[in-house]
Structure 1
Amino acid sequence: MTLAQKSAISRRTFVKTAGAAVAVGFPTILPSSVFGQMAPSKQINVGAIGVGRISRVHDMPAILKVDGARIMAVCDLAGHRVDEGKQFVNDFYTKKTGKPYDGVTGYHNYNELLANKDIDAVVISTPDHQHALIAAAAVRAGKDVYLQKPASLTIAEGRYLSDTVQSTGQILQIGSQQRSWKQFHRACELVRNGRIGEVKHVEIGLPGDPAGGDPAPMPIPSDFNYDAWLGSTPNVPYTVDRVMPLEGFDRPGWLRMEQFGAGMITGWGAHHVDTAHWGMNTEHTGPVEIWGTAEFPTHGLWNVHGKFLTHAIYANGVTMDISGDFPNGIKWYGTKGSLFVTRDEQASPTAKPGDKVKIEPLVASDPKILDSVIGPDEIHLYTATEQHANWLECIRTRKQPTAPVEIGHRACSTCLLHHIAMKTKRHLHWDPERERFNHDDEANAMLSRPMRTPYIFENTFG
């Protein structure tokens, strides 16, 4: 269905249901003058699934800045977060319009949100283990999707998601926002155009996660659907350090639990490996050999990897090392020089926790490399000034976004290959076409995980 068709249906539905506006979250029939550029006939209606930390500080604010879109619904498995998410969006539109606004519908079940025909698209900001499951359901429901990275919990889930998205024709953008940052785009263009010569080696540095966490079981909060939150993963006792803070939006404990993700190798690795692939021109493949070592916690609840060093070789002979001992960022080594890129700010090693320091985001072995002009007949990479805005524009044009699903899957799967190498502690041989290890049943068994019923790709929960 085209966006124009969706908009026509949305307008008809809006008119038919105006008399029941309170039931769908509107306090009264709102004239277009209240919305201005957000008038229902012009906008992309967005639902936010998962309205915790990353949604509040990154995803929802970026979408709210775009006049051509309106967040009309929020969904979360914690009741108080639904209320706080509604308030967050309503307060923004109240300030924007200068008039009281109460037009956001709250949901506790993402399938009910996906069933709302007035919603054109969804932004998914849930824990990692829910990403592929919800995104696949969303595209099957005819929604375009902005999906927080990493794309999936396992390589098999990622393949399923990519195939499903491509079969539906929906627009899916992976939250690899470094593609929209000037220094990463510039770095990759310089590398792709041979300014450091032929690439031979890449180093990726990632931040780390601490051990710790209290495993003692706790009562499940009355407003929290913990079973649905666990989703496809095993049923284990509730404790706040396994899930998320009861109040506020500090960094949640699930990020440090292998049940729900792989740790920093996918958490930050999905960003940096994607950038490395962009510069290497290997966005649609992966390494052919992977090996390495890692330390894992021996106490406490949190069990994602600690200190590690992993290695990979690509079919073109380029080698890649990933470790927490390297500076946070990506460094390409070529036959004529090197280039390092990172974010503009980094955590300060001497200041209080959370403090950041400004650093130089793009550094070359020869400063003249940075002044190089990319000619009109050279490689010019996809340019996007902001990841969410690019997604919304692609919903209108139906063109592919800067980080489409297959590219996101390949970055995530490469990270997961490094994680499997950490776990098996041996040299692995990978076939990127078949997406299987060669002659290694144990490693191939780690490409997927059992999914707990009813939280499987074929089913939805009621």
Structure 2
Amino acid sequence: MADVTRRGFLKTVARTAAAAGFPTIVPSSVFGQMAPSERINVGAIGVGRISRGHDLPAIFKYDKARVIAVCDLDEDRAARGREFVIEAYGKKLGTSYEDSVKVYHDYHQLLDNKEIDAVVISTPDHQHAIVAAAAVRAGKDVYLQKPASLTIAEGRYLSDAVQASGRILQVGSQQRSWKQFHRACELVRNGRIGEVRHVEIGLPGDPAGGNATPMPVPKGFDYDAWLGSTPMVPYTVDRVMPQNGFDRPGWLRMEQFGAGMITGWGAHHVDTAHWGMNTEYTGPVEIWGSAEFPKSGLWDVHGKFLTHARYANGTTMAISGDFPNGIKWYGTKGWIFVTRDEMTTPTVGSGKTEKIEPLMASDPKILTSVIGPDEIHLETSAEHHANWLDCVRSRRQPLAPIEIGHRACSTCLLHHIAMKTGRALHWDPERERFRGDEEANAMLSRPQRSPYTFEEASWA
């Protein structure tokens, strides 16, 4: 798959869907009981911080969709999620939405609901691939929070499941729908900085700490199912999530449930870097680097780090928390840097921070360059969730399909494996295996705890 283009991949998806008997034009029945208005009935799986702060508010904006169900393993969060949906639609529609939202605590039961056409998955990282695979096998279209998977093996499993199902899956790589990221990648792809030779990616960091003292599992919280395929360990609030409120949860700092910022923010920035590099369907061929890991406390994801990669065409990549948060492509004729609107950086010696310009170049004229009609025009999207909903209707592939999301996530995980091994690793992007390194290959997957394995948690 190393040399597969986006066009070729989409043709493969189309052929797979046709072979499986899936229509290329969405039938009216996909809209269930709301067919006359062609609304898409959506279920929300996981209704915590990222769902309430990002995914649900985005879906609420569009009349083409209605959230009709919520699911969470925490009974209190599920109830509060239902209230959140009812309140939002009450304000939007000017009428009661009280009887329109079902509550589930088992996502399989939500997926069994034939009225639901699509799901938004906003669970912790370790549940992403397993829940998404079950969803597409149940005939649901999916918006999946990044990163795509906990391991490279899980990501490949999910991508294959999506292709076989013919469903629409959008990975939550929303930077693809932001103007400055699209503009930066289009300029890079059209050679405005010459041939790309090197890319730098800056990520934020995570602190060490966390209280490891075991605590009673809160009433109404299915902790066993929340751990899912990962090992059984004692409950403590710092391992899981706040019992009150929706602040940043401790699981983000636990390797049991993810790899830390290398996948947390890295999945966004590596995806953007790949978009500009035209390497969306492949990955590096060599990876090396080092990282510091906490020596005390509960939280154990990487701290300060610097990792490197080399791609088949010779382009190199470096990722570190010491670089400004964003992506910087260096070419033979200059450079382009892009970041999010709100990013700041410390001012040397002042103890203060200053705003980073979201789009910069070695020569300001690069940024005003006009992309000609015969040049590369990357697909545009005004908003990521809207792009997904449009694709649910049209059955076109979305801006961030699963194979692209998998390749971004797997690249991040390769950097993480390099951190853990501390040696240069040689990767075959087509076979998705390390060359001559079985110890590293053993890190491509993790044992899965029954009954939460892919085979048990998904429909065959």
TM-score, scaled relative to structure 2: 0.92
Matched, 1:62 2:58: yes
Higher mean Cα deviation, 100-109 or 278-287?
100-109
- Report if the CA contact (8 A) 1:345-1:356 is conserved: no
| Aligned residue number for residue 8 of structure 2 | none
| In structure 1, distance between residues paired with 2:152 and 2:308 | 19
| Aligned residue number for residue 340 of structure 1 | 337
| In structure 2, distance between residues paired with 1:115 and 1:356 | 50
- Report if the CA contact (8 A) 2:141-2:392 is conserved: yes
Q: Which amino acid aligns with 1:4?
A: P
- 3-state SS in 1 of match to 2:55: helix
Matched, 1:330 2:353: no
Unaligned runs of 5+ in 2: 1-21
- Report if the CA contact (8 A) 2:343-2:358 is conserved: no
| In structure 2, distance between residues paired with 1:287 and 1:348 | 29
Cα deviation digits, residues 381-417 of structure 1 (max 9, x gap): 0111110000000000000000000000000000000
Identical amino acids, percent of aligned pairs: 76
| Aligned residue number for residue 250 of structure 1 | 247
| In structure 2, distance between residues paired with 1:143 and 1:346 | 36
Alignment of 1:303-452 (within 5 A): 303-346=300-343, 349=346, 358-452=355-449
| Aligned residue number for residue 224 of structure 1 | 221
Shift of residue 460, structure 1, vs aligned partner: 2.9
Cα deviation digits, residues 113-145 of structure 1 (max 9, x gap): 000000000000000000000000000000000
| Aligned residue number for residue 4 of structure 1 | 27
- 3-state SS in 2 of match to 1:163: helix
| In structure 1, distance between residues paired with 2:170 and 2:363 | 35
Alignment of 1:62-461 (within 5 A): 62-102=58-98, 103-346=100-343, 349=346, 358-460=355-457
- Report if the CA contact (8 A) 1:346-1:356 is conserved: no
- 3-state SS in 1 of match to 2:456: coil
Shift of residue 6, structure 1, vs aligned partner: 2.8
| In structure 1, distance between residues paired with 2:242 and 2:209 | 15
| In structure 1, distance between residues paired with 2:356 and 2:51 | 26
Distance 1:85 1:223, change over 3 A: same
Shift of residue 154, structure 1, vs aligned partner: 0.2
| In structure 2, distance between residues paired with 1:40 and 1:132 | 33
- 3-state SS in 1 of match to 2:238: helix
Shift of residue 204, structure 1, vs aligned partner: 0.2
- Report if the CA contact (8 A) 1:424-1:443 is conserved: yes
Shift of residue 99, structure 1, vs aligned partner: 1.6
Q: Which amino acid aligns with 1:68?
A: K
| In structure 2, distance between residues paired with 1:137 and 1:461 | 4
- Report if the CA contact (8 A) 1:45-1:69 is conserved: yes
Number of equivalenced pairs: 431
| In structure 1, distance between residues paired with 2:110 and 2:97 | 20
Cα deviation digits, residues 298-355 of structure 1 (max 9, x gap): 01000000000000000000000000000000000000000000001125759xxxx9
Shift of residue 52, structure 1, vs aligned partner: 0.2
- 3-state SS in 2 of match to 1:345: coil
| In structure 1, distance between residues paired with 2:215 and 2:345 | 35
Distance 1:232 1:41, change over 3 A: same
- Report if the CA contact (8 A) 2:147-2:263 is conserved: yes
- Report if the CA contact (8 A) 1:188-1:275 is conserved: yes
- 3-state SS in 2 of match to 1:194: coil
RMSD: 1.6
| Aligned residue number for residue 18 of structure 2 | none
| In structure 1, distance between residues paired with 2:137 and 2:368 | 46
- Report if the CA contact (8 A) 1:74-1:104 is conserved: yes
Q: 2:43 aligns with which of 44, 47, 55?
A: 47
Shift of residue 222, structure 1, vs aligned partner: 1.1
| In structure 2, distance between residues paired with 1:438 and 1:327 | 33
- 3-state SS in 1 of match to 2:252: helix
| In structure 1, distance between residues paired with 2:165 and 2:454 | 15
Q: Which amino acid aligns with 1:144?
A: D
- Report if the CA contact (8 A) 2:68-2:101 is conserved: yes
Following superposition, which runs of at least 4 residues in structure 1 exceed 3 angstroms of deviation? 347-350, 355-359
| In structure 1, distance between residues paired with 2:377 and 2:309 | 27
Shift of residue 96, structure 1, vs aligned partner: 1.2
Shift of residue 457, structure 1, vs aligned partner: 0.9
Unaligned runs of 5+ in 1: 15-38
